[in-house]
Structures are given as C-alpha cells and as structure tokens.
Amino acid sequence: MSKCKTSPEVGGMGHSVKRKEDARFIRGQGTYVDDVVRPGMVYMDIVRSPYAHAKIKSINTEKALAHPGVAAVITGETLKEYNLHMMPTLMSDTQMVLPIDKVCYQSQEVAAVIGTDRYSVADGIELVEVEYEPLPVVVDPFKATDSDAPIIRDDKEGQESNHIWHWEEGDKAATEEIFNNSDVVVKERIYIPRIHVASIETCGCVSEFDKATGQLTVWMTTQAPHAIRTVLALVAGHVGLQEDKIRVISPDIGGGFGGKVPVYPGYVIAIAASVVTGLPVKWIEDRRENLQADSFARDYHMDCEIAADKDGTLNGLRIKTLADNGYADAAANPSKYPAGMFSICTGSYDFKNAFVEVDGVYTNKPPGGVAYRCSFRVTEAVHAIERMVDMVADEIMMDAAELRMKNFIPKDAFPYHSPTGWEYDSGDYHAALQLAMDNIGYDELLKEQKEKRERGEFMGIGICSFTEVVGAGPSKDFDILGIKMFDSSEIRIHPTGKAIARFGTKSQGQGHETTYAQIIAEELGIPFTDVSVEEGDTDTAPYGLGTYASRSTPTAGAAAAMACRKIKAKAKKIAAHLLETSEEDLEWEVGKFSVKGVPDKAVTIQDIAFAAYTNHPQGLEAGLEATHYYDPPNLTFPFGSYIAVVDIDSGTGEVKVRRFMAVDDCGNIINPMIVEGQIHGGLTQGLAPALYEEISYDDEGNITGGSFMEYLVPTAVETPHWETDKTITPSPHHPIGAKGVGESPTVGAPPAIVNAVVDALSHLGVKHIDIPITPEKVWRAIHKNEVA
C-alpha cells in the first residue's frame, strides 16, 4: 500500500499513530493481575519438588499449619476429593495439578499454602515437610525409548513406553527416490534447545468465588481467556462451575509470547482454594518458579538432509525430529498438529519433494512446549532449512545468496502448493533478499571479509530468507480441544458517531487498542481516537481463541473489517433514506456517502450513526452495530530476508553482531511504527537464543539455568542497532491484505546470526554450531580445532 486512504486525523491504515494504550503504560497506570486487590483476599505460595522423579512417601503439614498467618495447606489428596488433582492439557494429554504419589520433574508443584499475607505463605512453604524416595530419571530424550528406561507416565493406561506420538508429512518414497538420484547430499543434526519466554510479568491469578451466587471470577494472566473459561467449565463442571458462572478477566498483560496460553497447575489450585474457602485467593509466581516450571519452548533434535544437484538446484528435503515434551504433552498446538506447522520446513524454496517426521517423547522435565513468539514450531522449521541451505552452499562452494536466489519459489508461482501440503498465499522472495543485499552492501561486505581473513581477523555474513505461516486458522483443519480457530469482532457505533469494539483476542503488548481502531477507521472513516477497543473479559467480549501465533490481525483484524462492512451496508440504507435517493446512486468515500456526481449531497458516518438512533428508516432495525466471526479461508505466509554481519574476538570467542538488516514483508501494514516496534522486539528475542539463552539439565534432571543469573536474557547493551526495511505483498485472501508480523523476526533472526558465525569460521572447517553460540564454542573452534 503506497498511499494512505485516510487523513492522519482519521488514522486509518498506514498511519504511524501513537499507541493509545501507552498513555497508561508509560505512567505506570496499567492494571496487571498483581494490581488486583479484593476485600478479604488471601495469598497462596507453592511447595515445589527438589527432585526430577521421586515417590512421595509422606507430606507433613503440621509445622506449616502452626505458623502464624497460615490458614491451610492443599495437597493432591485434598484436590482428589473433588477429582481436581489431574487436568487435561491443550493437546488432550493429562497433567497433575498436585501429585498423589510421585513427582515427575524438578520444581513440580507438590503442595500449596494459603495464608493471610504474602510473607507468611512464603514462610509456610519452608515448613511443609515432604519425604521423597528418588526414582531413576529420564533426561536424555534419545534414551527415553530404551527398553530399560523407566516409564514416566505409568498413570496412563496402555502407556508402555515414553513414546507419545509419531507424526509425518510428505511423500516418503518419492523423497527417497530424489535422494538416490541427486549428486550432493548434506546432513546435519541440529538441536534447538529449551528456552523460555521470560516475559517481564510472571504468571498468576486472583480467583474469587462467591458462595452465595456460585459465581467464579478469575483475573488471570492469559492470552486466551475464552478458551480458558471453556476448559475450566470442562474440568470443574462436576463441582458446579458451569460456563455461565465463570468469568475470566485477562487485564493488562506484561508479555505473553505463548507462555500464557496453557493452564498451569497454580491457577487450578488457586481456583480450588477460593471455591473451598469462599475467599479471594491471589497467586503470583516468582521469577524462578516462572523459569523453572512453566512451559518451555523448542527442544527439537532435528536430523536434517538436503539432496541437491552440483549446480545448486535443491531437490529434496528430509527431516527426522525427536521432540522432548517433558512430563506431559502440554504444547499449545492446534489439535491435528502435534508438531505444529513444522512441515513448513521447505521454506522459501521450490523443492521437488520432502518428507518430515517427528516423534514426541516424555522425559523428567517440565511439560510443554509452547509456541514462543512462533506460529507452532515454525522457528524450528526455519532454523533447520536456513542452516541446511547454507551447508549446501558451503558444500558446492556457491555464494549463499546466489543459491537462495536460484531456488526461491518464483513470484508468479503463487498460490504455491508446497510438497508438504501448504498453499502459500503470496510472496516475492527475490525482491526481499535483493533489497536486503542492496541496503547492507552485500558485495562490499564480501570484499571486506576477504581482506580481513587474509589479516587473520574473523568476520562473517549470514543470510536467512524465511517463510512464516500464521493466522491459524481455517476451521476445516484448525481447532484447540475441538473449538475452531476463528476469531471475532463486535462493533457498536454510538449515536454521536463514536464506537466501541470488542474482540476475542487479547493484547499483551502488541498494541491492539490502536491497530484494531485503525482498521475500523480505515473501513468506516471514524477517527481511530473515537474507537474504544476492549478485550479480555469473557462476560463482555465475543468468543474467540485468543492472541498467539501472530493470529490476531489475520483473524480478529479480518473480523473487524468484515463487521465494519456489515455496518457500512446498513449505513448505506440509512444514507439513502437521509439523502432521499436510492442506494445505487450512492458512493462511499472515506467517512461519508454522497450522491454520485453531486459530491455536495453527502452524509457522514457520524450523521448516519445519529440517524440510526433518531431517524431510522421504517422497516429497518434501529441501531448501528455488527458482530463477525471470521473463519479464514487459508493461513497467511509472511516472509522476509535478513542479513547479519558478525565480528569475532578470537582471543575470547565473543561474537559481536555488527550489523543486522531485516527486510520484512507482512502484506499491507496497519501501523508502520507498531510493525517496526514488533520487529525490533522480535529480532532481540531471536538474538537471545542464538547467542545467550538456554534452559539445561544435569544428569539427575536438575535444572541448571533456572534464574536470571544463568538464563541470559540480552539487554540493550548486547542488542545491535537493528536496520529495518520492507516489501509489501498483500495477502490475496485477507480482507485488508494483511498477514501478521509479530513472530517473523523471532523466527528469522537466529539462523541469520548462526549462519554469520559459521561463515566467519568456515575456513577452519566449521560447518555447524548449535545455539546458543557461547563464546566458548567459538573459542574451541578457533583454538582447539573443534569443529562440527
């Protein structure tokens, strides 16, 4: 979209208007869950397991109960009385809320202490005495299915090993045929370790049950309040909590990134505690609990192979993956996709065929994994393909950019049918990479690198040309626990021409209060400042599946446009009535209907809104409002090309990202400033796992990166200056041509950085380095000749 249709005052699409929500955020006046205080509120803290796998022999609560301020201790036995000790995961697996006889991962919830203040419950958990008998642990997922491995889920009938599921996509035989007939085959095992979203706000809730009315209100850190309410009704319907009696409120959220999609045991315990006591119960995790027990992301071991011709033509792709799910499959994927959208792994390239398989296993680690700023395993897929393409380039000694250009799906091939079954909506991959190369001065960089290498200095250039798949999704394929993945918008125009719009999604920093208002401004010509946007309260907002996987603009944003079009259709009838003409004689121009050829004879949307309540035509309902549930016909496929330039300190192994050029294409843009902000944040969250973050375990299953001392979230100091640019290829099927952007940079940044580091070391024989690329890994490559 080159020009804005609306004026800056109206602030429709393409205007970089300031974010409406920031007025309260920058004053520190947001309302987060921990800001909620209810009369008579009590507090909860959680006793957690020091062992990764152990029998619980006894739990003695005597001393805790004797501590001043402690009111109750809840154990698995307490919950069992209400049949609430187990709960379903979003993947139709099961998970303990509190254990009865054994714990299956370190930091697992063991008991909860309820008391009058935050301090006495913190003392109380120290006083609960739990006697454990350690059991053998399964830490290495490759050993999980050994015949002598202990069965972790012996509570599940018929579960005779730690294998959970097998999933595959593509044509195995045809792919094998391609591998047999290609000149070049490159292989690598690529590991993407466990990482954590580490949002600024940890998880928590305030649960308030009114014994008189039977009404439960839960203020909760959730990205999907409606789905959570339904899950609660399904889990606790038998104790009288019907869906109409449950109100879930997701107030301001301090970052979600996928980590606030699942239901964690702490929520359920707090709810049970308030139902039993009739008191409001507050539970807020501390940082260590958040890092150690909440859902992780990634943890994919990928055996990747590409078959190519000597001239660089990519023919076939094969990936066999082992997915470490921890103690339960608590991922947050659509039901039919246990490995998410991992089969997008053919990426931006026109492969003849591909075959992908993934096996999920249980281990003694916290359950997961969530789609951390990533549309369900796309980060893993992009990492695999973008690393492998570089390995092919290295093998046949071809420039990495040239190899990509040669194999990109051409822009006239869209809609493109991928060998793993996706229909890509639109793209122009050549243009994006060319723009990134021109912006950064690719040829000069190659020259500089050559000179530096001769002087013994280490500099690398890395490219990533990713294709994302977002906006889940079409109801024929996408559901969570059976609920279809549509999303919704309900818009009401008030008599004075102002509006309120409500959505089934929930912003956690994305700026929905601004961007949804801009979509409505674009469609109806009502200034975005006249549109209030509300989300997150199940009593008021229309049903929707929530915000994650870059789905808000593709689904709820589309719903807003469609609802506006319903409103506009009615507005036209009212305009015809006011202008005493027929609808056919009217034409729409931003914010008003006028009589064709007589531009002076016009009524504004505000005039029409007033008339809808004061002077509506006979035979037409009064009022001006509409609701739309948008079921997308397809997913959207944002893409981009990133180029990273790194310098390496050979004495210490430190990697410095000197430059990073990100060219993104997310289709039509609603607010360029917000898009750029999303890209900056996402790139930083891509830098993080590339160089710093990892949650690892020792042989006993003890977490070794469970605080911010060891879990290295990069700061502004580590973050390079991001250079950004864009191409615009609208989605042909989306009502406003938008595609979604929040996740592209997180998905695209890691391989660009890794490719740059490997490039810097390639003359030493280095082919691959697993993330995070610590200074030690680099130092070893240089000084110890340790190359993968």
Query: Contact residues for another protein (CB under 8 A)?
Result: 118-119, 122-123, 126, 286-288, 651-654, 692, 704-705, 709-710, 712, 714-715, 717-718, 774-776, 779-780, 783-784
Q: Look at the block and give the residue holding tokens 């009865």.
A: 100
Question: What does the alpha-carbon distance between residue 565 and residue 567 come to, in Å, rounded to a whole number?
Answer: 5
Specify the residue, 195 or 635, whose C-beta has the smaller distance to another protein. Answer: 195
Question: What does the alpha-carbon distance between residue 363 and residue 481 come to, in Å, rounded to a whole number?
Answer: 24
Question: What does the alpha-carbon distance between residue 701 and residue 107 come to, in Å, rounded to a whole number?
Answer: 11
Packing angle of the helix pair 744-761, 672-691 (nearest 10 deg): 40
Q: From the candidates 194, 298, 318, 373, which is the catalytic residue? A: 373
Q: From the candidates 108, 223, 510, 685, which is the catalytic residue? A: 223
- Beta carbons within 8 Å of 667's beta carbon, 6+ residues apart: 426, 636, 638, 728, 729, 730, 731, 734, 737, 738, 739
Rounded to the nearest 5 degrees, what angle is found at the Cα of 649, between the Cα atoms of 643 and 654?
75
Nearest distance in Å: CB 149, another protein: 28
Query: Which residue type does 226 have?
Result: H
Tokens of 580: 């005493």
Specify the residue, 475 or 704, whose C-beta has the smaller distance to another protein. Answer: 704
Contact (Cβ atoms closer than 8 angstroms) between residue 628 and residue 563: yes
Specify the residue, 212 or 717, whose C-beta has the smaller distance to another protein. Answer: 717
Nearest distance in Å: CB 765, another protein: 20
Question: What does the alpha-carbon distance between residue 408 and residue 429 come to, in Å, rounded to a whole number?
Answer: 6
Q: From the candidates 203, 205, 304, 374, which is the catalytic residue? A: 374
User: Which of 406, 432, 355, 488 shows the shortest CA–CA distance to 637?
Assistant: 432
Specify the residue, 292 or 518, whose C-beta has the smaller distance to another protein. Answer: 292
Question: What does the alpha-carbon distance between residue 569 and residue 590 come to, in Å, rounded to a whole number?
Answer: 14
Question: What does the alpha-carbon distance between residue 586 and residue 603 come to, in Å, rounded to a whole number?
Answer: 10
Question: What does the alpha-carbon distance between residue 389 and residue 409 come to, in Å, rounded to a whole number?
Answer: 14
Specify the residue, 117 or 183, whose C-beta has the smaller distance to another protein. Answer: 117
Nearest distance in Å: CB 292, another protein: 12
Specify the residue, 266 or 542, whose C-beta has the smaller distance to another protein. Answer: 266
Nearest distance in Å: CB 717, another protein: 4
Active site annotation includes 508: no
Nearest distance in Å: CB 770, another protein: 16
Active site annotation includes 205: no
Cα Dmax for the chain: 86
Tokens of 345: 């792994």
Which residues, listed in sequence order, are joined to residue 97 by a DSSP beta bridge? none
Tokens of 195: 């990482």
User: Which of 386, 431, 522, 512 shows the shortest CA–CA distance to 726?
Assistant: 431
Specify the residue, 80 or 288, whose C-beta has the smaller distance to another protein. Answer: 288
Nearest distance in Å: CB 561, another protein: 43
Nearest distance in Å: CB 783, another protein: 6
Specify the residue, 392 or 683, whose C-beta has the smaller distance to another protein. Answer: 683
436: left (phi over 0), alpha (psi -120 to 50) or beta: alpha
* DSSP class of 552: I
For residue 628, the SS3 value is strand
Active site annotation includes 247: no
- Beta carbons within 8 Å of 284's beta carbon, 6+ residues apart: 33, 34, 202, 203, 204
Question: Which parts of 278-399 fold into alpha helices (H)?
Answer: 287-293, 378-396
Specify the residue, 615 or 707, whose C-beta has the smaller distance to another protein. Answer: 707
Contact (Cβ atoms closer than 8 angstroms) between residue 447 and residue 531: no
Helix (H) or strand (E) holding 710: none
Nearest distance in Å: CB 572, another protein: 58
- Beta carbons within 8 Å of 616's beta carbon, 6+ residues apart: 574, 577, 622, 623
Specify the residue, 32 or 692, whose C-beta has the smaller distance to another protein. Answer: 692
Nearest distance in Å: CB 780, another protein: 7
Active site annotation includes 743: yes
- Annotate 399-427 with three-state secondary structure: CHHHHHHHHECCHHHCCEECCCCCEECCC
Nearest distance in Å: CB 711, another protein: 10
Query: Catalytic site residues?
Result: 223, 373-374, 743
